[in-house]
Amino acid sequence: MSTVAEINPRRRTALAALRRDPMGLLGAILVAGFVTMAIFAPLLAPYDPIKIDVAHKFAPADFAHWAGTDQLGRDILSRIIWGARTALGIALTATGLAGVIGLLLGLVAGYGPRWLDGILVLLFDSVSSLPMVMFALAVITVLGPGTSTLLLVIIIISIPGYARLIRAQTLTLQQADFIQAERTIGASPARIILRHLLPNVVGPLVIVLSMDVPVVIMLEAGLSYLNLGVRPPTPSWGNILYDGYTSLRQAPGMVIAAGLPLVLATLGFTFLGEGLRDALDPKLQLRVPK
């Protein structure tokens, strides 16, 4: 009987399938580019992103400033590169923490006693029923705008969806023959969860997380645009977009420069998520070993 032993070959097959998918490969390249930009921002940015040089405000794009400068003379390209670190840092941190918490709660709800499952499902439904934007605005109004508040909001509103996904996968796997066999030989719940359930439910979660990253990036940019997210002078794509809107007559290219990475990041993570969904077919993860 094989369970975890079959997962590594499946992963290799999934990676090969992802490389054969043009859209998925394009998404992976775009995501890798933005991750590289975020990690090596201090090396890639030609200027200090918060250095003010009013004497050269609204400078057009040239060899000195490839994307021009804003209303305070700050290099737009440098701010966009550092904005990638802000956007991906918030998106990956929020989705990662929400995914881990949702994974744990989903496993407990799916494998635990029915009374605990009922309480957790009621909690998930209660949080999911809250309008996302209105809830975010309410929390930010109470706690004040800032990166920590933004992370808290995203984590809270994301956990129920991930937990319900893992719960559904766990309930399905509980009826599998290899799980029943483990129970028969006296395996502990911890062994069943960690050795058999966890590896089989992570695949669908990774797919959902990758497709939720652009949603979080857009939410962060939108709230920062409204001055309710990342606070200036920290570089953020939303802040750059707002500066471009207020300076549309003087520097119309600023809006394009700020909007382009948002579009490319959204496309990249969406294509990657679609490619992962096709490569990591949930049916492969739920197939009962012989």
**Distance from C-alpha of 145 to C-alpha of 224, rounded to nearest angstrom:** 9
Q: Which of 150, 155, 165 is nearest to 105 (CA)?
A: 165
**Distance from C-alpha of 152 to C-alpha of 137, rounded to nearest angstrom:** 12
CATH of the domain at 52: 1.10.3720.10
Kindly report the backbone phi and psi dihedral angles of residue 249, in degrees, each rounded to the nearest multiple of 5, phi listed first: -75, -40
0.85 cut: is pTM over it?
no
The token pair that represents 84 in the structure block: 């990638």
Low-confidence residues of the chain: pLDDT under 70: 1-18, 280-290
Q: What's the structural domain count of the chain?
A: 1
Give residue 18's pLDDT.
Answer: 65
**Distance from C-alpha of 287 to C-alpha of 25, rounded to nearest angstrom:** 26
Give whole-number Cα distances, 122 to 103, 128, 262, 276, in Å: 17, 10, 35, 31
Give whole-number Cα distances, 103 to 108, 195, 204, in Å: 9, 15, 11
Give residue 32's pLDDT.
Answer: 92
The token pair that represents 6 in the structure block: 């079959």
Range of the domain at 80: 4-286
**Distance from C-alpha of 88 to C-alpha of 253, rounded to nearest angstrom:** 23
Burial letters 51-61, b for 16+ CB under 10 A, else e = eeeeeebebee
